[in-house]
Amino acid sequence: MSAWVELADRTWVRRYEKYDVNIGLVLGSDGALVIDTRGDVAQGEELLGHIREVTDAPIRWVVNTHAHYDHVFGNPAFPDATSYAQENTAAAVAETVAIDVPFSVAKVIDLGDRRVELLHLGNGHTDGDVVVVVPDVDVFFAGDLIEESAPPSYGEDSYPLEWPDTVDRLIGLLSATAKVVPGHGAIVDAEFVREQNDNLGTVANTISGLHHGGTSLEAALAHTDDWPWPQAHVEQAVRRAYATLGTPARPTLPLLGLAKND
């Protein structure tokens, strides 16, 4: 387990061996804000102890980047904090974790002498992904929209066709010196985000091309060319995209259409 790394003024990340998940901590004059809380209450309580290694300031805010358990189920360890999440995330975890402040597109949290911005830039890893921006130090906590230690994860609640556009919006916010904290893995920069999004775009475009060409789901799942990652990794992306696009139409040869007009 690694120690806290101070990315910038009063802005830290801690990378946990369990799930290789990154947790953020931002300190302001009015208290501390935690970004994600790990996978269960015990892990959240361990996180609380680790935060006390850095600051004894009251933990007044918790932000969850999305609904997956390894990022949100530690919330009950922070009963005095106000929790924030995109409204789709809040709905997805409602039976397990209560979120105090659901929001749709954007929210600003005032930490006293600085602010933190919460942005839902579109669908991607889930329909509730939030990027947490600390603008005064050019740090972005991207959740699982970006991953460093493995390829981006296409789960049963992912949006492979929309994901590249969402990350494009993130790229538009990044300076050349921005520090981006992925949901899992090492800290990255804008160039890494652009390269990863090129791969996300390749997956989306390949699936769209197969579908447009009349390729069946079964044949698309067996497709081995063009993928930037192992075929097995993109299987769920194919299934999710085809569920959105529907059954592909049989391709019509232009020659047949001409024959009917003769």
Predicted pLDDT of residue 253: 60
Predicted pLDDT of residue 189: 98
Predicted pLDDT of residue 188: 98
User: Cα 53–57–60 angle (5° rounding)?
Assistant: 120
Contact 7, 13 (CB under 8 A): yes
Q: Are β-strands 131-134 and 115-119 bridged in parallel, bridged antiparallel, or unpaired? A: antiparallel
**76-84: which pairs have CB atoms within 8 A and are 24 or more residues apart?**
76/41, 76/44, 77/37, 77/41, 77/44, 77/45, 77/47, 77/48, 78/34, 78/37, 78/44, 78/48, 81/34, 84/109, 84/118
CA proximity to 166, closest of 135, 138, 143: 143
For residue 36 the two structure tokens come to 């994600």
The helices-and-strands tally (H runs, E runs) of the chain is 8, 12
In the chain, the N- to C-terminal Cα span, in Å, equals: 74
Residues of the chain with pLDDT under 50: 255, 257-262
Predicted pLDDT of residue 183: 98
Predicted pLDDT of residue 260: 46
Predicted pLDDT of residue 2: 77
Domains and CATH numbers, the chain: 5-188 (3.60.15.10)
The predicted model scores a pTM of: 0.94
Predicted pLDDT of residue 187: 98
Contact 121, 166 (CB under 8 A): yes
Torsion of CA 71, 2, 27, 101, to 10 degrees: 0
Predicted pLDDT of residue 199: 98
